Amino acid sequence: MQLPAPFKPTPASDAPALSTRAARALRAGWLSGGALLLMLAAIANLANAYQRSDGVQVQCVIEQHGERRVVPVEWLGHGESGDRHPALGGAAAVVRPDKDGWPVIYFDQVTVKGIREKDPHMLDFIFYHECAHATDPTRDEIDANCEAYLELDRLGMMNEPLERALAQTHRKMMRLPSRYGGSGAAFWDKTMACVSERRAQSRRPAGQNHE
């Protein structure tokens, strides 16, 4: 599966390693300003990790203007019903630029809580969908869904029952804005058409993509 190079949500396992190193430095008594910064960076990075349904902490890493950054993950609301955050407009998650134009992933705690209980794999799908937007803001909803599907497949987190569950969750959404295809069913059909097309492309030898 050929994914664009910047689309690489990386395991967050680097972060604890850094902080362990910093902690060791602290014990050894040679904690320099640099090491302290490193330690703070490691703590900040962990806060931006998303815990998948398989327990693995992942981060959405993007590249903009030649600079690599971890996309911050913010949780809005307190998880109480009726406490949905207006900024999300009823969505489970959105990507919004910060004041400098860097993307931030926002999750609505209320919506997410329900999804985590009923269909935790769907929440993983949503994380990769939002990461796909963050990686490339020109991606539309179908493309973002397509990327999320391919990424989960690449990670070995897709199989027939999981795909059926995702399809079902999508198809349950009766009416959706036109950018999602107008309905959950159309949204999912377009997603799967994109997945098939991308798979066909990756099977073709290089240079024959526009035959």
Residues within the interface to Zn ion (CB under 5 A) = 141, 144
CA quadruple 104, 109, 111, 114: dihedral sign: positive
Report the residue number, 124 or 141, with the smaller CB distance to Zn ion.
Answer: 141
Nearest distance in Å: CB 180, Zn ion: 8
Report the residue number, 96 or 204, with the smaller CB distance to Zn ion.
Answer: 96
> Tokens standing for 149?
């599907």
Nearest distance in Å: CB 144, Zn ion: 5
Report the residue number, 39 or 146, with the smaller CB distance to Zn ion.
Answer: 146
Nearest distance in Å: CB 85, Zn ion: 16
Nearest distance in Å: CB 75, Zn ion: 18
Q: Provide CB contacts within 8 A for 71, sequence distance 6+.
A: 48, 59, 60, 61, 62, 95, 102, 103, 104, 105, 131, 134
Report the residue number, 38 or 94, with the smaller CB distance to Zn ion.
Answer: 94
Amino acid at 193: A
Give the residue from 37, 61, 64 showing the smallest Cα distance to 48: 61
Nearest distance in Å: CB 105, Zn ion: 11
Q: Provide CB contacts within 8 A for 21, sequence distance 6+.
A: 35, 38
Q: DSSP secondary structure string, 5-32?
A: TT--PEETTHHHHHHHHHHHHHHHT---
Give the residue from 155, 88, 164 showing the smallest Cα distance to 119: 164
Report the residue number, 14 or 98, with the smaller CB distance to Zn ion.
Answer: 98
Nearest distance in Å: CB 207, Zn ion: 32
| Cα(112)–Cα(203) distance, integer angstroms | 36
Report the residue number, 19 or 191, with the smaller CB distance to Zn ion.
Answer: 191
29: left (phi over 0), alpha (psi -120 to 50) or beta: left
